[in-house]
Amino acid sequence: MTGKQGVAPLDSLRFAEPLASQLRFLLEADRLKSVVRGNRIADGSRRENTAEHSWHIALFALVLAPHAVEQVDVLRVVSMLQIHDLVEIDSGDTLLYDAAGAAMQAAREEVAARRLFGLLPAGQASEFLALWQEFEAAATADARFAKSVDRLQPILLNHAAGGGTWTDYEVDEARERALTGRIAEGSPALWSAAEKVIEDAVRRGWLKPA
């Protein structure tokens, strides 16, 4: 999956370090715009890509930070959300409802993270890798809140799009609650909002009753 690279012409310019490594990483990151997710954008017109998803949830974090259950460092949360899905450049998006895929995913993503963040100068490489691992482990308040908005956004998009992946994959309410309930760990207020949306989706026939 590390085949096509758009960066060859830039390499020929032989920038000095650390800029050479930083620009190579930033151009490689561009490929996230071509990773397509399961869910659609809010108007239902097409599927969302992971780059614009990352922008959207970073905006969620900026706006919704006051609802975090513990005070968070917003720059750390936004930084995590900007980089948390870069691994999908190598490993692809795994749908939330794909349990078999999820089991394979963790190992593949760790390899991808080391390759991608390894493009950066050493100091930034270890900083970004640590931030990504912190997000994955969800062991800090910042990471738990970042996970909350990452889970909340597709619920709102499915609802706005009139069913989205819920109807595509015939998801039922119990499964949806099990997969998104961790929103509560970062923000009980946002989980309470998500529950209202889920209940409404059941009423509208977009989620099957439990």
Q: CA 96, CA 112: separation in Å to the nearest integer?
A: 19
- Among the listed ranges 54-62, 95-103, 108-116, 133-141, the one in contact with its own copies (CB under 8 A) is 54-62
Q: What angle do CA 42, 202, 175 make, to 5 degrees?
A: 90
- Among the listed ranges 52-60, 103-111, 137-145, 164-172, the one in contact with its own copies (CB under 8 A) is 52-60
Least Å distance, CB 1 to its own copies, is 14
Q: CA 98, CA 103: separation in Å to the nearest integer?
A: 9
Say whether residue 69 binds its own copies (CB under 8 A): no
Neighbour-count burial of 168, counting CB atoms closer than 10 A to its CB (0-12 exposed, 13-18 middle, 19+ buried): middle
Least Å distance, CB 113 to its own copies, is 15
Judged by CB under 8 A, the residue of 49, 133, 140, 167 near its own copies is 49
> Which runs of consecutive H residues, i.e. helices, occur in the chain?
8-11, 19-29, 50-64, 74-83, 88-91, 99-117, 122-137, 141-160, 164-168, 173-180, 183-186, 188-203
Least Å distance, CB 136 to its own copies, is 18
Binding-site string for its own copies from residue 173 to residue 202, where x marks contact by CB under 8 A and - marks none: ----------------x---x--xx--x--
Say whether residue 41 binds its own copies (CB under 8 A): yes
Applying the rule CB under 8 A, the residues between 126 and 165 that interact with its own copies are: 153, 156-157, 159-162
Judged by CB under 8 A, the residue of 37, 60, 184, 191 near its own copies is 60
